[in-house]
Chain A
């Protein structure tokens, strides 16, 4: 049960892992065909929907297996397998190339290495890619990059034509994810290498900045077949009026080291008027963790949601955290809790935000989330690639499916270039204001 209970619910598309796909070496086709067969069979045996989302799974095999058999390279084979996965039309079905899984985030001089971090994040805004955050101590900041700047080209490759290549049929929420992926996979690179990025600032002026990529900050964590993730937890006081005390806790991925750090942060803000959990850009991780994290804010074992697998239904039940890391008895935080989400909030983060929203324990601010909330596993295939495959379907305690829908904020806070250029954070401001009203 471990694995299932672990309920590894990693993000898929849109994750750093998925972003690490690289040029492939030559194929060994027999192993490749075996990999095609293995991937097909794993999904046949474990997909949560025995009707395969309306897809004739046997027919898909019959159609694509001959193509896998004649694939002339690993790249071709992977394309066939990915085509098979795409037929399901659901998130959390993807093929992670062996070299990306093994090399993810670990640095080194390998070609295609994307472990170097530029220290900035981006989102799609009105058809263009805009810088939404710049890490204060990171290389983009050192190069003078500012939020609100549009990204125009990376190492001479213009961004607009890349975005134009995205399928017109792509749903809006997926377009956000793919645009992010398109830019992120290019602005990242080998640690120590330099990205020459052309921006347009707030006045429309074109600026070129040389950004020396650095090793990704955070504590590296590798779980099983998953790529390495770098865990970062931040905590600070929100800017708040009238002596209001509001703690902001953010983390970038759901991995076990996060739990103790969030616990310590909650301890620090136990006397605050409110706590804001910033899950913007958090693509997910270990779904079982939402039972523990929610317990910092719930004094009863309340069901946040359920995961329906083919065999049964499992519940995500909060574990009230009545003892802190120092071994002292405490009460879970009972004040107002706000959760910030955006178009790159995915998977376990969505299960958590949607679950807390559904039971009325948190109010959600920001933009709709990814809508990619299927608990998944990572199986190693015979050729070394890793198959990401969903085996469960998450619903909140109100029966709301998040897959394909995402978490819809209680208070929308649309991304605005003016706000970014001015250093304003509308979602944060609205969350603080709600806490202020709640405390009256």
Chain B
């Protein structure tokens, strides 16, 4: 999970209700450059600088983000909360009126999902690997070890804004597409495909309303389109270094499943 990670973390949950993905581990340095386009690594570097720099990102040891989640066309809305701690612990909760709380988490070992429609479940195999990667606290830094290749494939437009289009191939071979503004260097869009419990899903997301949250610039608004339906995530507040490790403890239903 990268860049405007506050919104994109939630987006991932929303996309797959914390489902699967692919990927795994090891890394090789395989950043590629296409002739007259800037190298992908340079685009990423510029982005990291634009959001405040690597040191600004690394200085925090926990984060709590709160905001709103909406599906305007369906009249669905609710609160969301994202808790995170390095290196890869995370809990995401979306509370929707009439549906209840959708929660997912990764505590460094166990990836889980509690959905009031389907019940509690462990995410295993690729889903667990994916959850680990999505929980990367410093994901906006785009650690090269997590990608097989990173390539700038075009100078194009994303929703009318000139952008560099990057193809990021994860170690598993799965592609993510990201669009970075030519003018500002900020991430403004992405196209990802992930496997949900119901099968693969593709989402196109746009990121906007960058705001300074504790010295780190992050997109406060994300619009994501999945199968023709737009959902909106707005981050309203971010607290740093206020979390206790206990918030990442497994819920009782998940503990029972782990036994």
Contact = CB atoms under 8 A, between A and B. Distances in A.
Contacts of A4: 201, 226-227, 229
Interface string A378-390: 1110000000000
A328 B256 CA distance: 6
Given A4-B227, A292-B117, A327-B255, A256 B98 contact: yes
Given A255-B98, A329-B256, A323 B120 contact: yes
Interface in A227-280: 255-256, 259, 263
Contacts of A319: 118-119, 121, 197
Contact of B228 (A291, A323, A391): A391
Interface in B55-70: 69
A379 B117 contact: no
Contacts of B76: 2-3, 223-224
Interface stretch (A84-92, A153-161, A306-314, A396-404): A306-314
Contact of A223 (B98, B118, B198, B257): B98
Interface string B105-145: 00000000001111111000000000000000000000000
Contact of A259 (B116, B200, B255): B116
Contacts of B201: 1, 4, 312, 314
A397 to B, nearest CB: 14
Contacts of A377: 73-74, 229
Interface in A280-325: 286, 288-289, 291-292, 295, 307, 309, 311-317, 319, 321-323
Q: Per DSSP, are chain A's interface residues mostly helix, strand or loop, or mixed?
A: mixed
B121 to A, nearest CB: 5
Contacts of B226: 1, 3-4
Nearest to A306: B199
A223 B99 contact: yes
A335 to B, nearest CB: 20
Interface residues on A, range: 35 or more
A311 B94 CA distance: 26
A62 interface: no
B228 A46 contact: yes
A1 B74 contact: no
Contacts of A6: 99, 117
Contacts of B231: 2-3
Contacts of B17: 1-2, 5
B246 interface: no
14 contacts: A1-B14, A2-B94, A3-B229, A5-B196, A221-B98, A223-B96, A224-B75, A226-B98, A263-B119, A288-B118, A291-B118, A312-B201, A319-B121, A321-B119
Interface of B: 14-17, 69, 71, 73-76, 94, 96-100, 102, 115-121, 196-203, 226-229, 231, 252-253, 255-257, 259
Interface of A: 1-8, 45-46, 221-226, 255-256, 259, 263, 286, 288-289, 291-292, 295, 307, 309, 311-317, 319, 321-323, 327-329, 377-380, 391
